[in-house]
Structure 1
Amino acid sequence: MSSTILHSVGDAAAEAPVMAGDAASLADEKNPFLVALGERVRALRARRGMTRKQVALAADVSERHLANLEYGVGNASILILLQVAQALQCSLAELIGDVTTSSPEWLLIRELLEGRDEATLHRVRVAIGEMLGTGGAAVHSPRVALIGLRGAGKSTLGQRLADDLGFPFVELSREIEKFAGCSVAEIQALYGQNAYRRYERRALEEAIQIYPEAVIATPGGIVSDAATFNLLLAHCTTVWLQASPEDHMRRVVAQGDLRPMAASREAMDDLKGILAGRAAFYSKAQFHVDTSAQPLDATFEVLRRTVREALGLPV
């Protein structure tokens, strides 16, 4: 494919070749990301022992365009970057500076894990957690965490399970609001999603520290932050409460949230998309209970038996 049609619209100014001296004079005008990208391209080219001309030919881009990219003034399209990565025989992640490509050890670990199945990756993750002292698999922890999308039944079933076990019941969303001094909606509106995730992590850390035994109902998005989810998996017995999208929607509306009804078709599509995107993470829970498969009382009995057997308690 010709490199000409792959240049981004904003690349016109980058067509003129830039020499090292000129690049230095433009240092204050350069975007730091583009400068770092150019440095990585040069370093990767040096590691491969390739001249700029060789890389340009292999990538099917002009040498002038590659020079501008290396000097941090070429705002290349994603397809150009992909071609350059292929020419340098590296991943696109390495080219753009993913942290897991930032050192030889990271790269060697990535190579060892590449192509492994989920079961093997799980064993590696647990082993790393144990080696680093951050926790492995919390198989028998009397700290039970219920995960799943909103409307799965975490609050209703969680309170009943806590009463049955004689454990404290912790609604993590309420703990987040205590830390912030305002509602979850206000946190997100005033401070943004990143601030909310920080409060979420802090609330989980405190719950783990305070409660050796507890039933914790977690927010549906707790799987969105890998560090927080790792903490949860390492210190809690985890149960994914699953439900059909229709049941999720019906229960949310029953809780008094009428917003989905404003555009029900779009809301249902969004809900299905969120559920699909998070399912792979929810499935990392040690146990799964389908809350759409039977009535509430029968579902609670399944959950109760599952947790009691896991904790070695009489059923």
Structure 2
Amino acid sequence: MAAFPLRWLLALFVWTCMFGAVSADQDLRETRCPLCDMDVIPSLNQTIKGNQAIYACEMAGHLDTLRDPASKILRGAVAVTALDVPYTNAGMACPVCGKTELKYALPWGNRGNQKIFTCSEEHAHLIAANQEAYYEGTTPSHSGEFCDHASVMFDGFQSSIGRTCVKLWFQPWVLSSGVSYALGFVGIVLLGIFLEWFGEYREGMEELFIRNYGITDTSNVLADQTYPKTAMTTLIPSTPGGIQTVTTCTLPTWCTVALTCMYMLALVVGYMIMLVAMVYDSGLFVACILGLGIGFYLFKDTEADSMSGNIDPCCST
């Protein structure tokens, strides 16, 4: 019987140690990036003396910007009376002297909620003057691989080669090697070609449906009378008596459903290409333009009286 209390006492001791370790750290679930106010990635951080750190989101280049003193992201000292979220339960000390009585804070940027805490205004000024002197550990450098980390959007046009990897559409689709990047590039080019071909195909199918399954209705109206204006309406020139004939065509429901499905597929592909362009990776942006250009060259009838479509890929319907 005495074994049970001892076992429970041991479990309570382990639980207390684990809880104490967790509660002594900054709450990363409530921590926001100082540059964009997005959730931070725990692995993207720069540790600072006094058990403090600055964390960044997955946006490419944000951690480098925060680390760089020339960016002037770190603001001036402000007095604090208590630690607020996400530092409520954090066990921190002044990076300069190691004191745990923290009275001043240096906010990181105008967004987010991260700060560096110090014991005095004087020590806050020392950190503001040379923040790199209080960094702990070595500044992470490029691993030597094709790219590091992963991001769904870069901070302005740049290449992912030797920098941040591209996260393409889905969480597992990270272009982290030369082979995967090349496959992504070719796939995006093919996607652009497909979109241009599919636009012509949809128009051809609509004409085929109208020709083979369209139900026509003919009516006579006065020359100044309004008439239905649709892609399936044919206006026969008015007669000398002021009467004109309007022939209207309607499609069966299954034809309309088929055209609707093709329209939605075109939207999906168009928006996928738009999202690639919004990553701001220079190479993949070239792939978007190259694919759409090749598709236009191969499938668009440039000698037609008027060309249909839209140069905006997300709206090429």
Could you tell me the TM-score, scaled by structure 2's length?
0.26
The structure carrying a bigger strand percent of its residues is 2
Higher relative contact order (CA 8 A, sep 6+): 1
Could you tell me the TM-score, scaled by structure 1's length?
0.26
The structure carrying a bigger helix percent of its residues is 1
